[in-house]
């Protein structure tokens, strides 16, 4: 019997007939060539059955990391299963950095870019926008390389695992930089609406945390690069926190990255949590929706209209921004976006009720869900048909199609 595998949150049990852990690209090619149905598993941090298959589940964690920096091109090339934390350490030691990071360093590079994982910053695209090239083992087991400038490339990065096994990823790098972060507390709710653009743009990367309860936003985290304008003494009525904070104010900040304006390396400030801290599994579910940044104030009002269903299911919400990109299945495709994230309690019934209500309220704003989190319906994106055509060309037998992509990408 196949081993029983679950995702990080424990809410999805995968049901493959076989699990493979290849250690070479040739092994990946042989497995794919012999498979009728296959999917790839990254680090299993998605909250829905996106990675599941009744056929062959291929974990890429065993491929050698093989991290190669190309100083002339300003890129780094890594095996798909490498985790951001491991990559960040190597890059920083060589004097390089990535433009941004998500909140968790334990996630694989190929798995993160497959779902358009993002951090925050009005000028910063999601993590997939740093991808300059991919090497994919496609349907019949062939190894295909695609790079920026190839016609199919914009369809091949945020690909939900539907094109094949990404065995290598090449990412743009920049010189290593220092970041400092300041936390402000109790932003008056009315000020958020009145000054949304200024608040979202108050640093290189800005995150707001709220429980959607009272008439204040709990916290605003402002991450500034060295050389940016100094942090303000006060932010539209929000004052600086007196000490270190966890995004959920009642929790200990011991595992959070250093605050209080102390400069530090990019990888030790852009994530909210320390690299050496491994969060416990299974204590939460997550959802996230993206609307145009210009519609942020309307989106906040939409969430508040269903507050009665959201609050009982909620641990904390995070509001971030993501710059527009040209990647076909990216939820930020050609749209500067605000990201409304919900960390839920691990209770499916409460969460699904909140998710249904949120999707109904946010639909008129053209909300797009995060592919890796809990959602019910995803609207068709402007380039979905082009993606489907690309997938059918690279994988004519549909080896890498599963129920999730059939429902959310192939179905009209
Ligand atoms: C605690 C926590 C914090 C998070 N924080 C953020 C955040 O800050 N920002 C954000 O946007 N998201 C966040 N996420 C969501 C997470 O980044 C995404 O779900 C991401 O896709 C997970 O990567 P993974 O390696 O675990 O991929 P998996 O969940 O294993 O797989 C996701 C998809 O990628 C495909 N895939 C994986 N590896 C490959 C490969 N080598 N080749 C082809 N396809 C592949 C899979 O088939 C599947 O379709 C968070 C999740 C958790 C649990």
**Spatial distance between the Cα atoms of 291 and 368, rounded to a whole number of angstroms:** 7
Ligand 1: nearest atom to the Cα of 44:
30
Sign of CA dihedral 255, 256, 261, 264: positive
**Spatial distance between the Cα atoms of 198 and 72, rounded to a whole number of angstroms:** 37
Residues contacting residue 338 through CB under 8 Å, at least 6 positions apart: 200, 290, 291, 292, 293, 295, 296, 299, 319, 320, 321
Write down the residue that tokens 């969460």 correspond to: 351
Q: Quick one: how far is CA 311 from the chain centroid?
A: 23
pLDDT of residue 280: 54
**Spatial distance between the Cα atoms of 403 and 393, rounded to a whole number of angstroms:** 19
Ligand 1 centroid from CA 128, angstroms? 12
User: Which residue owns the Cα nearest ligand 1 atom 11?
Assistant: 117
* 229 class by beta-carbon count within 10 Å (0-12 exposed, 13-18 middle, 19+ buried): exposed
Ligand 1 centroid from CA 373, angstroms? 9
The length of the chain in residues reads 412
Neighbours of 312 (CB within 10 A): 14
Ligand 1: nearest atom to the Cα of 373:
19
CA 244 to each of CA 51, 181, 261: distance values in angstroms, whole numbers, following the listed order? 37, 11, 11
Q: Are 83 and 105 in contact (CB under 8 A)?
A: yes
Residues contacting residue 389 through CB under 8 Å, at least 6 positions apart: none
Ligand 1 centroid from CA 42, angstroms? 7
SS3 287: strand
Nearest to 89 by CA among 361, 275, 281, 263: 275
Ligand 1: nearest atom to the Cα of 39:
47
Ligand 1: nearest atom to the Cα of 271:
8
SS3 218: strand
**Helix, strand, coil % (nearest 5) of the chain?**
25, 25, 45
Residue 11 tokens read as 């809410």
**Spatial distance between the Cα atoms of 63 and 70, rounded to a whole number of angstroms:** 20
**Spatial distance between the Cα atoms of 114 and 50, rounded to a whole number of angstroms:** 10
User: Ligand 1 pocket by C-beta < 6 Å: which residues?
Assistant: 8, 39-46, 50-51, 60, 80, 102-104, 107-108, 110-112, 114-115, 117-118, 160-161, 165-166, 279, 370, 372
Four-point Cα dihedral 7, 13, 18, 19, nearest 10: 10
Ligand 1 centroid from CA 44, angstroms? 7
Ligand 1: nearest atom to the Cα of 103:
8
Residue 184 tokens read as 């402000």
Ligand 1: nearest atom to the Cα of 164:
43
Question: Which residues share a beta bridge with 38?
Answer: 56
Ligand 1 centroid from CA 185, angstroms? 30
20, 53, 117, 346: residue to mutate for ligand 1 pocket, most atoms within 8 A of CB? 117
Ligand 1: nearest atom to the Cα of 118:
11
Ligand 1 centroid from CA 65, angstroms? 18
Q: Are 155 and 233 in contact (CB under 8 A)?
A: no
pLDDT of residue 281: 55
Domain architecture of the chain: domains with CATH: 68-176 (3.30.465.10), 178-369 (3.30.70.2520)
User: What is the mean pLDDT of each successive set of 10 residues along the chain, which is 412 residues long?
Assistant: 80 96 98 97 97 98 97 98 96 98 93 98 98 96 97 98 98 98 98 98 98 96 94 96 93 92 96 78 88 98 98 97 98 98 96 98 98 97 98 97 98 76
**Spatial distance between the Cα atoms of 258 and 247, rounded to a whole number of angstroms:** 13
112, 119, 162, 329: residue to mutate for ligand 1 pocket, most atoms within 8 A of CB? 112
The alpha-carbon radius of gyration of the chain (Å, integer) is 21
Q: Are 156 and 390 in contact (CB under 8 A)?
A: yes
User: Which residue owns the Cα nearest ligand 1 atom 40?
Assistant: 166
SS3 90: helix
247, 372, 401, 404: residue to mutate for ligand 1 pocket, most atoms within 8 A of CB? 372
Sign of CA dihedral 344, 7, 145, 387: negative
């Amino acid at each position: 019997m196949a081993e029983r595998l679950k995702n990080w949150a424990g809410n999805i049990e995968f049901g493959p007939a076989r699990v493979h852990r290849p250690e070479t690209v040739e092994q990946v090619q042989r497995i794919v060539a012999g498979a009728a149905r296959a999917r790839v598993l990254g680090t299993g941090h998605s909250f829905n059955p996106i990675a599941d298959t009744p056929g062959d589940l291929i974990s890429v964690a065993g491929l050698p990391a093989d991290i190669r920096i190309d100083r002339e091109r300003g890129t780094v090339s890594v095996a798909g299963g490498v985790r951001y934390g491991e990559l960040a350490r190597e890059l920083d030691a060589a004097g390089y950095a990535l433009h941004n990071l998500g909140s968790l360093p334990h996630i694989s590079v190929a798995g993160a870019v497959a779902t358009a994982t993002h951090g925050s910053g009005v000028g910063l695209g999601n993590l997939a926008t740093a991808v300059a090239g991919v090497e994919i083992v496609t349907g019949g087991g062939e190894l295909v390389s695609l790079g920026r400038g190839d016609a199919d490339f914009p369809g091949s990065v945020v690909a939900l695992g539907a094109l094949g096994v990404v065995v290598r990823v090449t990412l743009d790098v920049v010189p290593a930089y220092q970041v400092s972060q300041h936390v402000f507390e109790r932003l008056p709710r009315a000020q958020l609406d009145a000054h949304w653009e200024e608040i979202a743009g108050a640093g290189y990367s800005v995150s707001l945390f709220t429980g959607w309860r009272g008439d204040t936003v709990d916290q605003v985290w402002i991450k500034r690069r060295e050389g940016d304008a100094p942090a303000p003494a006060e932010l539209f009525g929000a004052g600086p926190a007196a000490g270190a904070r966890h995004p959920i104010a009642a929790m200990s900040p011991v595992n959070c990255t250093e605050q209080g304006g102390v400069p530090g390396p990019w990888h030790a400030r852009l994530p909210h949590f320390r690299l050496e801290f491994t969060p416990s599994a299974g204590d939460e579910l997550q959802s996230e929706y993206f609307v145009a940044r210009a519609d942020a104030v309307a989106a906040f009002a939409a969430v508040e209209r269903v507050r009665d269903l959201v609050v009982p299911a909620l641990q904390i919400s995070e509001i971030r921004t993501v710059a527009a990109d040209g990647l076909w299945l990216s939820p930020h495709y050609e749209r500067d976006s605000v990201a409304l994230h919900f960390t839920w309690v691990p209770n499916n019934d409460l969460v699904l009720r909140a998710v249904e209500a949120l999707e109904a309220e946010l639909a008129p704003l053209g909300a797009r869900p995060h592919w890796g989190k809990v959602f019910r319906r995803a609207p068709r994106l402007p380039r979905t048909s082009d993606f489907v055509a690309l997938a059918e060309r690279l994988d004519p037998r549909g080896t890498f199609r599963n129920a999730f992509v059939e429902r959310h990408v192939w179905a009209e």
